[in-house]
Amino acid sequence: MFMIMTSILLSFTISIILIMLCSVISKKSKNNREKMTPFECGFDPKSSARMPFSMQFFMIAIIFLIFDMEIIIILPTIKIMQMTNMTSWFLTTSGFLIILILGLYHEWKNGILEWKN
């Protein structure tokens, strides 16, 4: 019990020291006009830094993230297949894949995957 408390106290102390060290190191000098302006190859920016972005790129990024999360969910099913019976594994995996295919169909039908307008 003493070893656990000692290790918790030591890790807490190291964390506090690192937080304080980072706050001391990251102190910024006073900001002037040049440091506050956006950097564009040493010239003044020609347009606003808040340019509108393409919604198509945003939608593709969101779809990419969603499918990445789905792959993370699918990967453990290989290990689970060894631990459970085949019928319940097949039904669960099939249901998940059907939901994926229906979502892809819905995105395709709404034109989210179309690059041209």
Tell me, what DSSP letter sits at residue 115? -
Shared domain for 31 and 61, answered yes or no, is no
Residue 83, in any domain of the structure: yes
pLDDT digits (tens, 9 = 90+) for 83-96: 888 888 888 888 88
Shared domain for 59 and 97, answered yes or no, is yes
Residue 50, in any domain of the structure: no
Residue 117, in any domain of the structure: no
Percent of all residues in the chain with a pLDDT value above 90, rounded to a whole number: 11
Specify whether the CB–CB gap between 61 and 83 falls below 8 A: no
Query: Which residues lie across from 43 on neighbouring strands?
Result: 40
Shared domain for 102 and 62, answered yes or no, is yes
Specify whether the CB–CB gap between 80 and 50 falls below 8 A: no
Shared domain for 104 and 70, answered yes or no, is yes
Domain span at residue 20?
A: 2-36
Residue 11, in any domain of the structure: yes
Would you give the distance in Å from CA 20 to the centre of its chain? Answer: 28
Does pLDDT of 106 surpass 90?
no
- What is the predicted pLDDT for the residue at 2? 85
Tell me, what DSSP letter sits at residue 26? T
Does pLDDT of 1 surpass 70?
yes
For the chain, how many structural domains are there in total?
2
pLDDT digits (tens, 9 = 90+) for 24-63: 887 665 666 666 666 656 555 566 656 666 777 777 888 8
Residue 116, in any domain of the structure: no
Shared domain for 64 and 97, answered yes or no, is yes
Tell me, what DSSP letter sits at residue 11? H
- What is the predicted pLDDT for the residue at 45? 57
Residue 45, in any domain of the structure: no
Alpha helices in 1-117 (DSSP H): 2-25, 33-36, 55-74, 76-83, 86-109
Alpha-carbon distance 100 to 67, whole Å? 9
Does pLDDT of 77 surpass 70?
yes
Specify whether the CB–CB gap between 78 and 86 falls below 8 A: no
